Chain A
Amino acid sequence: MTARPPVFTKFRDAQAELERSGAVLFRDGDGVESLIIKFPYAINYIHSYAEDSPFFLGLAEGRLRGSKCRKPKCGFVFATPRSHCMVCGAPTEWIDLPPNGRVHSWTTCHFGSEAFLKETPYNLAMIEFDGVGSLLLARLKDASESELYVGMPVEARFDPNPKYSITDVWFVPSR
């Protein structure tokens, strides 16, 4: 290692060099030099799905589950499950969601955060179900940007090799 790291006058170049080496000098328009080092950070969190666990276990079995408020007077049905009702606060019970739904809104992402860049372009859709009071956000496959529309009938598909992630379920246009 040399005593003085390489000097860059464009921040982007300094950033790129840091991918390769541990330190750079950045010289700004006023001639001020700043020493910039690489400061790595990686960690595996111990992440419990806790009360949401049955939902993800359900996906692994090819079941899409929502939840329903146990209080008879309320009975609100959630597509994205909540273990307690958002409306009245009572506990909910697990229910199976209908296999078919409709696109409530959609987009095609041509970028994503770093972890998902390699998957672009991908579609996101908010899915609505008959008799259900809230929506589910999911990937939508087998349809291109020019084919998608609000109201499009869709149905759920499940990953035969579950990763225990929300991406274990996705939707495709109904046949």
Chain B
Amino acid sequence: MPPRSRPKPRARAPPPKRPSVSRSQGRKVYMVTGGVTKFAKAHPAMDFRLMVKRAYDYALKGIPNLTADRIDGTRISYFSDHFARQLKAASMVQDYLGMNPKGSVRLEWGGATGGECFQAAYEAIASGRMDICLGAGFETMSRVATWKGNEFIALASDTNFDFPLGGFYTGYYALMVVRHIYEYLRRRKFGHVTDEREAQRLAIAEGSRIMSMVSVKNHLNALHNPYAQYPKRLTVEDVLRSEMISYPLTREQICTMSDGAAVVVLCSEERAKEFTDRPVRVLGVGCGTDTMRLADRPFGKVPLMPHEKAKDYEDLPYPGVHSFRAGRSAGIEAYRMAGITDPNHELDFIELHDAYASSEIQTYEDLGLCKYGEGYGFVERGDPFLKGIDYGFPTPRAGAIPVNPSGGLIACGHPVGATGLMQAVFAFWQLQETIPKHFGDPALQLAHPQRGAIHSHAGTGSSVTVSILERGFR
């Protein structure tokens, strides 16, 4: 085992206090419909209002008794005032949909904006404030050139200490995955290699190959999703040979700028029955946070899930820059509320925030689908792949727990304020078993899924939401 390279803290943060009494979960909340626009590089013929309107009309189509006047209020999300260059753009959506004078609020929480919007709509129902709430989100990223767009996104890093170094989120994610690879592949898989540099090179090459398998999966799944921006058949070699953006992350391992909108309608139990005989219950919600700057992340202990033991991680400084403590915290909260003790066996699929192929692998571990350090093996064994799709390499355990069956952010695109809601809509259709109807293609429909999770992630992991959705009908 090579010497571990890490700072030695003089003092350690005490473990976070957990509430000793169970919190009120409020009223039961159901999702009854949703809609998405196609995500695209640009939608020049639609501004953000019309995009949301299209997704909204799609959601309400076919539910004659769900009319605008029945909706009690809205929660509207978009990430960036820089992209919009229209302050109070959410008010203009409210206005365009004819929702005035009902209550509304705009949500912004970085990359997790859509996930926060979903949970804000959840809270409006759970608290009893509303019986029927519309959650709507959008982003119009085509309004600036790609590299200016990267600059806008990087303004979501500390502008004193981080932004002036390059203003580049892909760079931050590359820093994180290089350390993730060091912690797990270099120290475990290549522990026998004595030349340190050689061992690290081998580990990065191995990590890059496995990340490319994730990219192949998500792009290929998206071939069956008409809403996706970049569906395509790729090989691991194609992904590895695509343009190097920030070592070791290549272009095909990174999501792109998009225009798009998505909406959900959440209801109380009584109202839900009026609108659909296939409602989906929002069984649990969780949200976690971490330091804005990667440099400030602690080196402490792993917050454990019920199926893990402290000795699993005795020698793991956590989260450092290799893992997302916010994602772990969000998962723990959501699982606890949903009564999930072993997510790998109690969830049928996950739509997670794969802004980078690297963060998909890191997130498997954060969400407890496998232990920390096992994310690469999890991909190689095929667990997150769909059964019945030929990915061009063996996926022996395909179907174990499909991750991003829709194609995820990498292939669907990432119009930030819409993304977390898009995941909710795709998960909703999965649980309703209406994917064939909405996609015009049955390939991505899982067989009778009972329960799925959606995961929305911001910054370098500075805020994350996890929501658990469950089939609400027999």
Contact B44 A26 (CB under 8 A): yes
Contact B175 A124 (CB under 8 A): yes
B residues 221-267 in Cβ contact with A at 8 Å: 243-248
Contact B296 A78 (CB under 8 A): yes
Contact B294 A76 (CB under 8 A): no
Q: Give which listed residue, A28, A52, A87, A104, contacts B179 with CB less than 8 A.
A: A104
Is there a chain A Cβ closer than 8 Å to B154's Cβ?
A: yes
Write out the residue numbers on chain B whose beta carbons fall within 8 Å of the beta carbon of A151.
3, 5, 196
Give A91 Cβ to nearest chain B Cβ, in Å.
Answer: 15
A132 to B7, CA, bound (A): 6
Write out the residue numbers on chain A whose beta carbons fall within 8 Å of the beta carbon of B166.
109, 112-113, 116, 119, 122, 124, 139
B residues 138-174 in Cβ contact with A at 8 Å: 142, 145, 147-148, 150-151, 153-154, 159-162, 164-168, 170-171, 174
Contact A49 B160 (CB under 8 A): yes
Write out the residue numbers on chain B whose beta carbons fall within 8 Å of the beta carbon of A103.
5
- Interface 1/0 per residue, B183-197 and A, CB below 8 Å: 000100000000011
Contact A135 B295 (CB under 8 A): yes
Write out the residue numbers on chain B whose beta carbons fall within 8 Å of the beta carbon of A115.
151, 167
- Interface 1/0 per residue, A148-167 and B, CB below 8 Å: 01110000000000000111
Closest to B299 in A: A133
Chain A interface extent, by class: 35 or more
Give B49 Cβ to nearest chain A Cβ, in Å.
Answer: 14
Contact B178 A109 (CB under 8 A): no
Contact B164 A109 (CB under 8 A): no
Write out the residue numbers on chain B whose beta carbons fall within 8 Å of the beta carbon of A166.
160-162, 164-165
A residues 113-148 in Cβ contact with B at 8 Å: 113-117, 119, 122, 124-126, 128-139, 145
Write out the residue numbers on chain B whose beta carbons fall within 8 Å of the beta carbon of A150.
5, 178-179, 182, 186, 200
Contact B11 A109 (CB under 8 A): no
Write out the residue numbers on chain A whose beta carbons fall within 8 Å of the beta carbon of B7.
79, 104, 128-130, 132-135
Is there a chain B Cβ closer than 8 Å to A3's Cβ?
A: no
A residues 51-98 in Cβ contact with B at 8 Å: 52, 56, 69, 73-80, 82, 86-87
Write out the residue numbers on chain B whose beta carbons fall within 8 Å of the beta carbon of A32.
45
Contact B154 A113 (CB under 8 A): yes
Write out the residue numbers on chain A whose beta carbons fall within 8 Å of the beta carbon of B150.
111-114
Known contacts A49-B160, A133-B7, A138-B165; is-contact A113 B151 (Cβ 8 Å): yes
Give A6 Cβ to nearest chain B Cβ, in Å.
Answer: 14
Is there a chain B Cβ closer than 8 Å to A110's Cβ?
A: yes
Closest to B41 in A: A11
Q: Give which listed residue, A104, A108, A113, A116, contacts B5 with CB less than 8 A.
A: A104
Is there a chain A Cβ closer than 8 Å to B291's Cβ?
A: yes
A residues 34-52 in Cβ contact with B at 8 Å: 34, 36, 39, 41, 47, 49, 52
A130 to B8, CA, bound (A): 7
Known contacts A78-B296, A86-B296, A126-B295; is-contact A34 B45 (Cβ 8 Å): yes
Write out the residue numbers on chain B whose beta carbons fall within 8 Å of the beta carbon of A26.
44-45
Write out the residue numbers on chain A whose beta carbons fall within 8 Å of the beta carbon of B167.
112-113, 115-116
Give B43 Cβ to nearest chain A Cβ, in Å.
Answer: 9
Is there a chain A Cβ closer than 8 Å to B321's Cβ?
A: yes
Contact A102 B5 (CB under 8 A): yes
Contact B9 A76 (CB under 8 A): yes
A166 to B243, CA, bound (A): 29
A136 to B175, CA, bound (A): 12
A91 to B161, CA, bound (A): 20
Give A60 Cβ to nearest chain B Cβ, in Å.
Answer: 15
Contact A36 B44 (CB under 8 A): yes
Is there a chain A Cβ closer than 8 Å to B310's Cβ?
A: no
A166 to B247, CA, bound (A): 22
Chain B CB within 10 A, most for which of A15, A26, A108, A151: A151
Give B123 Cβ to nearest chain A Cβ, in Å.
Answer: 28
A residues 4-48 in Cβ contact with B at 8 Å: 11, 14-15, 26, 28, 30, 32, 34, 36, 39, 41, 47
Contact B164 A133 (CB under 8 A): no
Give B200 Cβ to nearest chain A Cβ, in Å.
Answer: 5
Write out the residue numbers on chain B whose beta carbons fall within 8 Å of the beta carbon of A165.
164
Give A40 Cβ to nearest chain B Cβ, in Å.
Answer: 10
A167 to B182, CA, bound (A): 27
Is there a chain A Cβ closer than 8 Å to B301's Cβ?
A: no
A9 to B148, CA, bound (A): 23
Is there a chain A Cβ closer than 8 Å to B18's Cβ?
A: no
11 example contacts (A-B, Cβ-Cβ < 8 A) are as follows A32-B45, A78-B296, A102-B5, A107-B175, A111-B245, A113-B168, A133-B298, A135-B297, A137-B295, A151-B196, A166-B161
Residues on B close to A: CB < 8 A?
3, 5-13, 41-42, 44-45, 85, 142, 145, 147-148, 150-151, 153-154, 159-162, 164-168, 170-171, 174-176, 178-179, 182, 186, 196-197, 200, 243-248, 291, 293-299, 320-321
